[in-house]
Amino acid sequence: MQPTRQNAGQTGGNRGRMWRVLDERLGLGALQYPVPPHANTLGYSLGGITLTSFLILVATGFLLTQYYNPLPEAANESTRYIITTAPLGRLVRGVHYWAAQAMVLAVSLHLIRVFVTAAYKRPREANWLIGVGLLALTFGLYFSGTILKWDQEGYEAMLHNMETARLLGGLGVWFAGEFTRSVPMLVRLYVAHVSILPALLTLFVIAHCALVKRHGISPSPWVPARPAHPESFARHARHLAAYGLVLLGGLLALAVLFPPGLGPTPVEGVEVTKPPLPLLWLYPLENWFGLGSIFYATLLLGVFLVLVPFLDWGPELVPRRRQAMLAAGSLVLAVIVGLIAVALLGPTAAHVGM
Amino acid sequence: MARSIRNLALLIVGIAILGQAGSAWAHKGEARPPDAATAVRQALAFLDAVPPNFGEAAEKAKWALEAKDQAGVDRGATERGIEALRAKDKSRARDLLRQALAPPVGTPMAQAPKDIAGRPVDHRGEAEAHHRQGAPLDALTLRFEGSGREYAILAVAVAVVIAGSLVLRRV
């Protein structure tokens, strides 16, 4: 192991003895591997902030599951119970809601940072693909969470899920209502939200982190490849914990200042809401090209992201030498932002064959 | 650079125009609900939309009057609700349509919901499983109320942010 500032300071005294005791039993020394100093900047901590948001979501989700009833006839009212009656329910739900927004924002910014700094290049192609999977799982969790509150917006989101699955035929069978007639779709989505998707996300996170450790934190295009004084991962972890504290405080404040409400109980046969902001870019496409465009646009974006490391194969990291790839990425981002603007300005419309 | 920005702006404007055109096609294919109670609830949903859609709400309320199954709906209140919708009086229309779903004693009730535990599940009916008999529950709008408890949580939030910032400075 290379010497670092951190382990150099842990050789003597009670602290040193304590460290050796713990290290012998828990293998904490494995966390002392060197990382470059730029790893502690905010841009290179966005992955850690995403993970912190996920941990907050898991913790608050545990509490919410104690009061939430996923049966269609009770879901909306149990959400009202959480807000109005359950101890700290309004606060916990508020933190859960804002942590979900934070996770979507952080994972998106993390992806943009990795893209701009070309951190997907050899030997990190596989980790980029795992990251794309994590992005998909994050949005899957966000989408299913939107449905669970079971107001008009949630109900319409579920119909979109089922109708898109129906359009896909055999490919979408697992997401279709016809897959099983013994369990309501809402309950199945609840199971996906609280067990299947978090379990998959956890596995992907483990693989993602293992590969980060294996390859090291990616170099910055703007600093020397081999820093004279590398930091230790343990110090980086303390940075992440500090960012996590700031995030937690911010989420608490948001939950109090802007508590998320709940829509009216759903009515079938109408479509009167728009999706939440992270999913809003799909809404105009649905207006123009129909329901199937949700799937095809998402697939297209996914294919683009998967191809990124294979299209930008050279060794260059500096952005000005990768103009074609950055132009393509900027165009994709501009289209998404433009579509969101269109959706915000346009009227609501019905799509799901009422 | 200026040219790129101009092209991007043109693209966004183009998409916006298409968006307005496209949304006009999207209302095709809406089927009339089989019963008046569902139609009134649909009218309420359009009224609660942001922004409220008075035209669609009035259309749904008219469907309610024309539906074969009138169980569970007060026709008089529905008719007055339509007048309020035409006058774009949201509050009055809302009250009347909700009143229309809470008919006087003796009016025949709407069909009971299906038992989702024992019978094949009709997923499209999930929304109605419990709320078929009356008006939908209102949206729950929350805001900062300035209570002592909220200020206490805000104080904790600020303390946590400061603690995190101090740790960031130290490490």
How does pLDDT run across A268-318, given as a tens digit for each residue?
Answer: 888 899 999 999 999 999 999 999 999 999 999 999 999 999 999 888 899
CA–CA gap between residue A70 and residue A78 (Å, rounded): 8
User: Once rounded to an integer, what is the mean pLDDT over residues B150-155?
Assistant: 98
The answer, yes or no, to whether residue B3 has pLDDT greater than 90, is: no
The 10s digit of each residue's pLDDT in B19-73 is 444 333 344 445 777 789 889 999 999 998 888 999 999 999 999 999 988 888 8
Q: What does each of the 354 residues of chain A score in pLDDT, given as a tens digit?
A: 444 444 444 456 888 899 889 889 998 888 888 889 899 999 999 999 999 999 999 999 999 999 999 999 899 999 999 999 999 999 999 999 999 999 999 999 999 999 999 999 999 999 999 999 999 999 999 999 999 999 999 999 999 998 888 888 877 888 887 788 889 999 999 999 999 999 999 999 999 999 999 998 998 998 866 666 788 888 899 999 999 999 999 999 999 999 999 999 998 888 899 999 999 999 999 999 999 999 999 999 999 999 999 999 888 899 999 999 999 999 999 999 999 999 999 888 887 754
DSSP 8-class letter at B51: S
B143–A259: do the CB atoms touch at under 8 Å?
yes
Q: How far apart are CA B153 and CA A346, in angstroms?
A: 38
Are B45 and A162 in contact (CB < 8 Å)? no
pLDDT number for residue B125: 56
Q: Is A260 on the interface with B (CB under 8 A)?
A: yes
Question: How far is the C-alpha of A92 from the C-alpha of A260, rounded, in Å?
Answer: 11
B13 has pLDDT over 60: no
3 state SS for chain A: CCCCHHHHCCCCHHHHHHHHHHHHHHCHHHHHCEECHHHHCCHHHHHHHHHHHHHHHHHHHHHHHCCCCCCCCCHHHHHHHHHHCCCCHHHHHHHHHHHHHHHHHHHHHHHHHHHHCCCCCCCCHHHHHHHHHHHHHHHHHHHHHHHHCCCHHHHHHHHHHHHHHHHCHHHHHHHCHHHCCCCCHHHHHHHHHHHHHHHHHHHHHHHHHHHHHHHCCCCCCCCCCCCCCCEEHHHHHHHHHHHHHHHHHHHHHHHHHCCCCECCCCCCCCCCCCCCHHHCCHHHHHHHHCCHHHHHHHHHHHHHHHHHHHHCCCCCCCHHHCHHHHHHHHHHHHHHHHHHHHHHHCCCCCCCCC
Q: Which residues of B touch A77 (CB under 8 A)?
A: 130, 137
pLDDT the model gives residue A229? 73
Residue B152 pLDDT class (50, 70, 90 cuts) = very high
For position B16, what pLDDT does the model report? 43
Chain A (105-124) residues lying within 8 Å, Cβ to Cβ, of chain B: none
pLDDT of residue A1: 43
Q: What pLDDT, on a 0 to 100 scale, did the predictor assign at position B104?
A: 55
| Chain A residues in contact with B16 (beta carbon < 8 A) | 341-342, 345-346
Yes or no, beta carbons of A269 and B129 under 8 Å apart = no
pLDDT band, very low/low/confident/very high, at B106 (cuts 50, 70, 90): low
**Interface with A, mutate which of B20, B46, B119, B131 (most A CBs under 10 A):** B131
Inter-chain residue contact B168 with A246, CB threshold 8 Å:
yes
A257 touching chain B per CB within 8 A:
yes
- Quick one: pLDDT at residue A277? 96
pLDDT, mean of residues B132-151: 86
Please name the member of A267, A269, A284 whose beta carbon is closest to the beta carbon of B15.
A284
Interface-testing mutation among B27, B156, B168, with chain A (most A C-beta atoms within 10 A): B168
Distance from CA of A216 to the nearest CA of B (A): 20
A262 vs B11: CB contact, 8 Å cut-off? no
User: What confidence score (pLDDT) does residue A5 get?
Assistant: 45
Regarding predicted confidence, which is higher, B136 or A93? Answer: A93
CATH architecture of A33-272: Up-down Bundle (1.20)
Give A311→chain B minimum CA distance, Å: 23
Measured between CB atoms, which of A72, A249, A256 is closest to B129? A72
Are B140 and A261 within 8 A, CB to CB? yes
- How close, in Å, is residue B73 to chain A by CA atoms? 16
When pLDDT is averaged across residues B79-89 and rounded to a whole number, the result is 95
Cross-chain residue pair A284–B120, CB shorter than 8 Å: no
Question: Residue A249 and residue B159: Cβ atoms within 8 Å?
Answer: yes
Q: What is the distance in angstroms between the Cα of A330 and the nearest Cα belonging to chain B?
A: 11
How far does B107 lie from chain A, in Å, by closest CA? 22
Decide if B139 and A253 are in contact by the 8 Å CB cutoff: no
pTM of the model: 0.84
Respond yes or no on whether ipTM tops 0.95: no
User: CB–CB of B126 and A273 under 8 A?
Assistant: no
Residue of A nearest to B12 (CA): A338
